[in-house]
Structure 1
Amino acid sequence: MRTAFMSDVHGNLPALDACLAHAERRGCEHLLVLGDVVGYWDDGIACLDRLRSVGASFLRGNHEAMLLGDLDVPAGAESVYRLSETREQLSAEQRRFLAGLEPRRELELGGRRWLLVHGTPDDPLEGYAYPDGDLAAFENLTFDYVVMGNTHRAMLRKAGQVTVVNVGSVGLSRDIGSRSTFGVYDASTDQLSIEEVPMNVDLVRRNYPEAHPSVRAVLDRGPT
């Protein structure tokens, strides 16, 4: 059984569709979404509907919390996040659905113990754990896998006996802007991989002309 882990779709429907197609080709039977379906690009509602239509399970991200008014939008960030546009499209049913999500989930998969968070174990909603950061705090956790999002930077590292994963971003990768990343776990081999999917940057630019210039600029980001 293979399970896909996606995060930080951020309203980028072309990128999401490409990742869903890739996950299907990889034989994924389940999909777990680690939050931030909305924000930045303007198809957050369409992305939410698409993910629900394929039976995905969800965590809440900080952008969902801001969308619902449970978390303040940082000063000056509304023009970048464009959450007011998404909020205008949100139905009462969708609002109830998002309000019921949590930023943290524990589960067993493949005989292993998993912790899923949007942020970090100590700050599930807003925390950041970067690929070059100190992971000492993860070593004493009682999980086999910790899977995160939020940074938009993919990571697959070990901290003691814990496999620490950030699946990166479907919609706005801050590693290489012209690709999406997500995770695939194969329970038969107990292996997790970071999948890289090319993004149709020209289509994204055409679809979202109102996106903030700083967001559009991320699409041009190359490897460092």
Structure 2
Amino acid sequence: MRIGIISDAHGNGPGLDLVLSFLKRQGVDRLLFLGDAIGYCPYNRETCEKLERSGADCLMGNHEAMLLGLDHMPEWAVDIVRLPKTWDELPKGWGDMVKANGLEKTVEIGGRRIFCTHGVPGEPFTRYVNADQAADIDFDGDIMLMGHTHRPYVVRHQGRLIINPGSCGMPRDYGDLLSLAILDPETMDAQVHRLPFTPPESMLQQVHPRVAQCFERTTEDVIGKIWRPYEQA
């Protein structure tokens, strides 16, 4: 059993196409999406449709929560995030699944109890956990899958596994490398994969300049300069 794990597509339909094609070639048996299908890039409905057609089990991210009025977005950030105007603009089947799954879901696959979340248990919108902090997170299960940071990692701690697939739409470490993870729960083997991606000019023309810069960055220094003013992404 092999599970494809993706997160944070953020309206990047061309990027998601690349990632889904890769996962299909890898022959994964199941696909989990950890939230934030929308925002930043312009192809929100198309991205949600692609996820629905792929058969991915989709969680709610903080961007979906903001659109539903469950989380607050600062007024000054509206033009950067560029969410759809209403939930009704998105596919109903996908939307119903996201609402039903919510921010956290536990599944049992390959004899393992897998806890899935977009952010951090108990702090889904306000806290970011990087690789050096992941072992401190308490969760119920053998494996935890979490997104939100747009930075991938795999951490092993006391016989348990913590996986962040990074972003399949807008990475925050290397902007030209989309990221995803593949997990074999039976063997507890997990690997992060990076896929080279050049955003089409037509997409870059429709995003905020800060978002366009994301795809150009190649160092952590650049990331900090671009994104520190808006951490709730």
TM-score norm. by structure 2 comes to 0.86
Match of 2:56 in 1: 56
Inter-partner Cα distance in structure 1 for 2:96 and 2:112: 32
SS in 1 for 2:210: helix
Listed one character per residue, the Cα deviations across residues 156-185 of structure 1 (whole Å, up to 9, x for unaligned) are 112322211111000110010001111111
For these two proteins, the number of residue pairs brought into alignment is 220
| Cα 1:174/1:101, change in 2 over 3 Å | same
Match of 2:212 in 1: 216
Q: CA deviation at 1:193?
A: 0.8
Inter-partner Cα distance in structure 2 for 1:49 and 1:207: 18
Q: Which of 181, 191, 207 pairs up with 2:203?
A: 207
Gaps of 5+ in 1: none
Percent sequence identity over aligned pairs: 32
SS in 2 for 1:63: helix
Residues 157 and 165 in structure 1, CA contact (< 8 A), matched pair in contact too: yes
- 1:35-54 alignment runs, 5 A limit: 35-54=35-54
Give the letter for the 1:4 counterpart.
G
Give the letter for the 2:218 counterpart.
G
- 1:1-224 alignment runs, 5 A limit: 1-85=1-85, 89-90=89-90, 95-133=95-133, 135-138=135-138, 141-187=139-185, 189-201=187-199, 203=200, 205-224=201-220
SS in 2 for 1:210: coil
Q: CA deviation at 1:110?
A: 1.8
What is the root-mean-square deviation in Å for CA atoms of aligned residues?
Answer: 2.1
TM-score norm. by structure 1 comes to 0.89
Listed one character per residue, the Cα deviations across residues 2-30 of structure 1 (whole Å, up to 9, x for unaligned) are 11011000000111000001101111121
More displaced stretch, 212-221 vs 64-73: 64-73
